[in-house]
Amino acid sequence: MKKSGKKKLVCLMCTAALVFSLSGWGVSYAQPEDVADDTNGMTESVTETAGTATTPGATTTPGGTMTPSATGTATEKPNNTRSMDVGALIASNPKLSTLAAAIEAAGLTDVLKGEGPFTIFAPSNEAFAKLDATMLDALLRPENREKLVDVLTYHIYPGKALAKDAAKLAGKEITMANKQKAQIAMNKKELSINNAFVIEKDIIGKNGVIHIIDMVLVPAK
């Protein structure tokens, strides 16, 4: 099977997996009269974890350390964004407008303005477009905010990991901000996390770095 065919098959499998996973969580499709905000504990967890995270060159997971290695072939963004926090970088990037809306709906905007450091594996608009539209709309509703926070924090690594640092962990797992594991891999110089490929790397902000990916990551139930 050609490489492009394999990627398409992986896309279809991951889309089905996300729909199944979110259904298993019990994502609600009904709009309630009263909505409770259950994100305080989760956002505090993201901030606290990021504040104690290690930076490249120190041990980050039981599997290894983040030290320089060969980078992948994804597009590299010029380093002219260092005065902006990662949240502002996402909000200002037209390729990430769906993610920006999800971050706002989840109440994570202020969290991403924090000290960090954060590494964001940011799904592009095209990545979100691969999802079932009804499921995505349901996930963005206020009554499903807790589920949305879990999905989004599965895209945040609490520490600063440039592409060259992440590549050093190929074949190993890292712990994301929602406390679940994600697998880093290198395939012919292409960096991936789980089954999502990095298509634009090293968008550096003052409190972290963003790598744009081509799929939405699927946390376990």
**Which range (18-22, 73-77, 178-182) has the least confidence?**
18-22
| Cβ(189)–Cβ(121) below 8 Å | no
Domain spanning 3-213, CATH class: mainly beta
Q: Which residue has the higher pLDDT, 40 or 145?
A: 145
Q: Which residue has the higher pLDDT, 82 or 4?
A: 82
**Which range (104-108, 129-133, 208-212) has the least confidence?**
129-133
Residue 41 has a pLDDT of: 47
Rounded mean pLDDT of 80-109? 93
Q: What percent of the chain has pLDDT over 70?
A: 64
Average pLDDT score over the chain: 76
Rounded mean pLDDT of 76-80? 51
Locate the domains of the chain by residue range: 3-213
Band of the pLDDT at 80, cuts 50, 70, 90? Answer: low
Rounded mean pLDDT of 163-184? 95
